């Protein structure tokens, strides 16, 4: 009996501690002032929001749920709903920092996403806030290089070769990501960094199906700090594939004109055969009439 009471007391104590720790933890996530004021160098457009959404659905939904639905996983401290005040009241820099650095059960995404991809996620979180007005950094005095990209394909090693230049000079340490454009969106081909020659190599699966000439539509993005560039172009990097119409040729499922010969023959021979026999009988009925006249 006595033991039991003590036991209960211990539980109560633990619960209190947890609650206090919880409140503490929540209020305590300090973001360094510099990081707090950090601003996205990119304008949050629909493209960013869409990419952010894909990243969010892949990496965050399991804990934070669908934004706006308050269906985050119950944990301590609670992850919270990104559409809620708790998130939206923070600065862009603060969200960026927290996602990047993580804390306790909030994973650290620094290694998983490049900076521009982290901003995509922030753009997505912000898209749930109607009153949000993006604050852009003061770019005065900051020189943003204008990138140009040259794409080619190295057949010997099946690599997409991306050369990043600014004013004819090769750019090192630029993050390059390459995508193949499909009917339902883009598929990541690979990511790489440019070397000191301004060249990045992205592996290409040689079995990737292309059009009849092996072409696919490739999108390549290059980012470094505030600089960003995009090219989209058809490249013969994939396996030449002949695409056949599903109703091409003679099939059960094609048009009437293209019905399989065996089926047409079977159908028409049986139908006409039977009706021929029936007409033979119907006309034969005249013989019955004639048979009377004979007698």
Partner 1 sequence: MNETIAKEHLSEEQIDQDLLKNVNWGGKFKLWMGFLTVSLIICLYYYYQQLQNGLGVTGLHDYVSWGIYISNFVFFVATSLIGMLVSSVLGMMKVDWVRPVSRIAELVAVAFAMVAGLIIITDMGRPDRLLNVFIHGRVQSPIVWDIAVVVTYVAISALLLYIPMLPDIALCRDKLNNVPKWQQKMYQRLSLGWNNTAKQFRLMNRYTRMLLILIIPIALSIHTVTSWLFAMTLRSGWDSPIFGPYFVSGAFVAGCAAVIIAMYFFRSNYKLKDYITSDHFDRMGKLLVLVALVYVYFNINEIIVPGYKANTADAKHVHEMLYGHDSVMFWLVQLGGLVIPFLLILFRPMRKPLPLTIIAVIILAGAWFKRVLIVVPTQLAPYYPIQNVPEAWSGYSPTTPEIAITIASFILVLMIITVLAKLFPVVPIWEVKEEMNHNNNK
End-to-end CA distance of the chain: 121
State whether residue 236 is helix, strand or coil: strand
Least Cβ distance, residue 272 to partner 1 (angstroms): 10
Residues that bind ligand HEC (CB under 6 A): 25-26, 29, 56, 59-60, 62-64, 75, 77, 79-80, 86-87, 95, 98-99, 103-107, 109, 121
Nearest in space to 204 (alpha carbons), one of 236, 234, 174: 236
CB 233 within 8 A of CB 160: no
Q: How far apart are CA 126 and CA 133, in angstroms?
A: 9
Q: How far apart are CA 223 and CA 92, in angstroms?
A: 19
Q: What is the DSSP letter of 256?
A: G
Q: Which does 291 bind (CB under 5 to 8 A by kind): ligand HEC, partner 1, none?
A: partner 1
Q: What is the DSSP letter of 113?
A: S
Site for partner 1 in 221-260 (CB under 8 A): 252-256, 259-260
| 83, two tokens | 């559409």
Q: How far is CA 195 from the centre of its chain?
A: 28
Least Cβ distance, residue 211 to ligand HEC (angstroms): 35
Q: Which does 123 bind (CB under 5 to 8 A by kind): partner 1, ligand HEC, none?
A: none
Q: Residue 7 or residue 267: which is nearer to partner 1 going by CB?
A: 267
Least Cβ distance, residue 59 to partner 1 (angstroms): 27
Q: Could you tell me which stretch among 14-22, 111-119, 128-136, 281-289 binds partner 1 (CB under 8 A)? A: 281-289
Q: Could you tell me which stretch among 136-144, 214-222, 236-244, 279-287 binds partner 1 (CB under 8 A)? A: 279-287
Least Cβ distance, residue 36 to ligand HEC (angstroms): 12
Q: How far apart are CA 45 and CA 42, in angstroms?
A: 8
Site residues (vs partner 1, CB under 8 A)? 252-256, 259-260, 263-264, 267-268, 271, 274-275, 277-278, 281-282, 284-285, 287-289, 291-295
């Amino acid at each position: 009996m006595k033991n039991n009471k003590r036991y209960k007391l211990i539980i109560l104590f633990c619960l209190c501690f947890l609650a206090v720790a919880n409140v503490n933890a929540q209020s305590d996530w300090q973001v360094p002032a510099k990081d707090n004021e950090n601003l996205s160098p990119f304008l949050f457009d629909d493209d960013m929001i869409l990419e952010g959404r894909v990243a969010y659905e892949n990496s965050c939904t399991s804990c934070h749920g669908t934004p706006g639905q308050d269906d985050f996983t119950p944990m301590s401290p609670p992850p919270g709903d990104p559409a809620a005040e708790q998130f939206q009241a923070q600065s862009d820099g603060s969200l960026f920092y927290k996602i990047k650095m993580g804390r306790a059960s909030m994973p650290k995404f620094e290694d998983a996403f490049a900076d521009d991809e982290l901003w995509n996620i922030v753009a997505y979180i912000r898209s749930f806030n109607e009153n949000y007005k993006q604050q852009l950094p003061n770019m005065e005095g900051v020189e943003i290089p204008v990138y140009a990209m040259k794409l080619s394909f190295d057949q010997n090693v099946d690599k997409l070769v991306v050369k990043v230049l600014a004013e004819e000079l090769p750019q090192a340490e630029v993050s390059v990501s390459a995508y193949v454009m499909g009917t339902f969106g883009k598929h990541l081909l690979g990511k790489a960094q440019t070397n000191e020659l301004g060249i990045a190599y992205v592996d290409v699966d040689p079995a990737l199906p292309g059009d009849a000439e092996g072409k696919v539509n490739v999108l390549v993005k290059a980012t470094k700090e505030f600089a960003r560039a995009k090219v989209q172009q058809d490249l013969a990097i994939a396996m030449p594939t002949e695409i056949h119409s599903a109703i091409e040729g003679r099939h059960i499922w094609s048009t009437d004109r293209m019905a399989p010969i065996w089926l047409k023959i079977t159908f028409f021979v049986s139908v006409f055969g039977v009706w021929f026999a029936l007409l033979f009988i119907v006309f034969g009925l005249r013989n019955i009439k004639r048979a009377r006249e004979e007698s």
